[in-house]
Amino acid sequence: MDDNTIEIRDDEINVEKIMEKIRENIRRRQAAGELPPDLDSVTGSPSRNCPVGESDNAIQRDLSYISSNWDIHNNSYFISSHHPYFGRFLVKGRQMVHGEVRRYVDPIVYKQTVFNQSTERVLNCLAQSEEELDEKISEAVKERDAFISKINTKLENTTHELENTTYKLENKIHELENTTHELENTTHELENKIYEDVQTAVIAINTDIDKKAWLAQVLEKRAQQGLAQKSAPLTSASKENANYFLFEERFRGSREEIKQRQLAFLSYFEKCSHVIDIGSGRGEFLEILKDHDIGGIGVDSDSDMVEYCRSHQLDVEHSDAIAYLETLKDKSLDGIFIDQVVEHLEPEYLIRLLALCYRKLKNGYYIVIETVNPLSLVSFFNFYLDMSHQKPVHPYTLKFLLESSQYREIELKYYSEIPEKAKLRKIYQSDPCTENERKFLDNYNYNIDLLNLLLWGPMDYAAIGKK
């Protein structure tokens, strides 16, 4: 027998039992999934006790149920009876009763069925419209997201470009600030350089004016004293007929140039207090000693030189060197400097002078003698430009004289190098060459070195001895 069939037996009709059977039938169908478990599953709102994420699934289940159950007619049952005698009559009677009931119930069921069918169609249309609307909304959301993504990308690119532009502008501003700072520094340096050059020029002009004024006074003084005489031989002690100061100004070099050269000898007189400069001339070395707080005194036989030095507040004695040294106590000097003097002296005078210097010098102190280097041909050619020169002194000769005077730790040093561009040039081979070519170049360059040393060797040298 079908589970959906409600069997009515011939026994006494009991409504409670029939309702119980109906409830049991409903429970079985609910258990089989043919009916929803409760009324809320059909009529309940998805928004009540239903998470947002599950509402769509609940609606789909409801639509599926409505689509399959809109027809409420029950045609799956039949009337039967097991009664052996009155079964046929009972069935017939029941059918008549059933037919009479259906005459009143079927119109209502039909209307409900039509209503259910219409509702199902409307709901399906709404569901379809909702799906289409969801698709359109989804497409619109995608387009919106794509548009927003595009805008964000453009904004990011624009922001990045603006950042790069800002960074470049900041760098440019920094470069301009650095350039401005450099220009300010350069301008300041130029101002200082111009100021220094102007000061140097002013000092040079003032010095030149002072020299010319001093020379004018000397010449005027000589004219008044009637010292203008005919030419006479020049000696180290008598130069009244020629102004040796003007000669040195023109041919030896300026005082500043000579001071720069003589600074090389300062280290031999550090911490000294009584240094004598024999043949002090224009007083360059005396000024160096004074600038470094070293006590010094000059001796010169030229009255013009002595007067010039005294006009610059330098301590200079107008005397012959040997005569002045004889007045000093032995071992009273802690330094002796003789620059461009020995070439003016006779050999006998030079030997006496070196011996006397040794007596007057303290133990452990130095004598420095600087003179023309005759080993350099260019220096030798210029030697007799000065008519007061007697003869050049060979470096080894002067060294021998110092040794003979009992000086020790004697050394020779050479100064006033000739610029390389004025010398003979050697040949340098950068490309590969044969062994014979290399030997030839080596010999050639060796000979060039010898010639350069002979022709353009250092113009001056110094002999240095220690007592």
| Residue 299: per-residue pLDDT | 96
How much of the chain exceeds pLDDT 70, in percent? 67
The residues, any chain, with a CB within 8 Å of residue 123's CB and separated by 6 or more, are 63, 66
| Closest CA relative to residue 407, chosen from 460, 459, 364, 453 | 364
> Across 335-339, 373-377, 443-447, which has the greatest mean pLDDT?
335-339
Q: What is the pLDDT of residues 238-260, one digit of tens each?
A: 444 445 555 555 556 678 888 98
CA 44, CA 62: separation in Å to the nearest integer? 10
Q: What is the pLDDT of residues 346-360, one digit of tens each?
A: 999 999 999 999 999
Q: What is the DSSP letter of 151?
A: H
Q: What is the pLDDT of residues 9-68, one digit of tens each?
A: 545 455 566 667 667 776 776 676 655 565 444 444 444 455 545 566 776 776 677 766
Q: Delineate the domains of the chain, giving CATH numbers in brackets.
A: 15-147 (no CATH), 244-466 (3.40.50.150)
| Residue 212: per-residue pLDDT | 59
Residue with tokens 């030697």: 383
> Across 88-102, 161-175, 265-279, which has the greatest mean pLDDT?
265-279
Q: What is the pLDDT of residues 448-457, one digit of tens each?
A: 787 777 767 7
pLDDT (mean) for 389-417: 91
Please tell me the chain's helix, strand, coil percentages from 3-state DSSP, rounded to the nearest 5: 60, 10, 30
b/e burial code for range 324-358 (CB count within 10 A of at least 16 → b): bbeeeeeeebbbbbbbbbbbbbeeebbeebbebbb
b/e burial code for range 433-462 (CB count within 10 A of at least 16 → b): eeeeeeeeeeeeeeeeeeebeebbbbbbbb
pLDDT (mean) for 409-434: 80
pLDDT at 234 over 50: no
Q: Is the dihedral of CA 300, 302, 304, 307 positive or negative?
A: positive
| Residue 335: per-residue pLDDT | 96
- Using an 8 Å Cβ cutoff, are 35 and 81 in contact? no
Average pLDDT for the chain: 77
Helix (H, G, I), strand (E, B) or coil at 322: helix
Q: What is the pLDDT of residues 6-19, one digit of tens each?
A: 454 545 455 566 66
| Residue 444: per-residue pLDDT | 76
| Residue 459: per-residue pLDDT | 86
What's the predicted TM-score (pTM) here?
A: 0.48
